[in-house]
Amino acid sequence: MKLAFLDTETTGLDRYKNEIIELALIIIEDGERTVEQSWKLKPRRIETASEYALQLNGYDKEVWDKEGYSWSAEACNRLAKRLEGSVIIGHNVQFDVGFLRQVFKEFGVSFRFPPQLDTKTLARLVWGFDRLSMDHIRENVEGMTTDGGHRALKDTEDCVFIYEKFIEKLNKIETQSYDNYNHH
């Protein structure tokens, strides 16, 4: 099984007006991490950015100019190839995939995005939280921290953590069910 954990940081909440400025991807295939990367992406429409979003995501023009990549059809195709055959997992993953769909569309790249799994749902199942923001989860779960939050790679790592806790819980339930079945 191929799991593609991903997170985006954006210049705002509107995928038609705003854009992705950071993207992280962790791919786990058959239990092995095969990809663990993040990219800063140079904004093409910085004038539409929300100051709040830029501040939250740690945007620094100088750093992005030096370290940033530019979107292109080729970049979209490379990303599509990496996502192919996977399940995309993220926190509020529809948001991230919506922004990616928009970028692909802008560059004329046709790609059928794989199925998605939202770690917000997994967090509710594991811990029973009503508030499902990543910060709330980090503040209330042992082994998690808010340090470095709202950066794509940290957020992606936290999605892997939530997924792994979900799998642990599933395995416990399965073991308990098996034990209960054998004791009757």
Given a contact cutoff of 8 angstroms between Cβ atoms, the answer to whether 53 and 74 are in contact is no
Return mean pLDDT, the chain: 95
Q: What is the DSSP code (8-state) at residue 149?
A: T
Question: And the tokens for 69?
Answer: 């990549």
pLDDT tens digits, 157-172: 999 999 999 999 999 8
Distance CA 82, CA 33 (A): 13
Class of 2-182 in CATH: alpha beta
Q: How confident is the model at residue 183 (pLDDT cuts 50, 70, 90)?
A: low
Q: What percent of the chain has pLDDT over 70?
A: 96
- Residue 107: DSSP 8-state: T
Q: What is the pLDDT of residues 114-135, one digit of tens each?
A: 999 999 999 999 999 999 999 9
- What pLDDT is recorded for position 174? 77
**pLDDT of the residue at 102:** 98
**Residue of 36, 57, 35, 26 lying closest to 163 (CA atoms):** 26
pLDDT at 72 over 70: yes
Cβ neighbors of 91 (< 8 A, separation 6 or more) are 7, 118, 119, 120, 134, 155, 158, 159, 162
pTM (whole model) above 0.75: yes
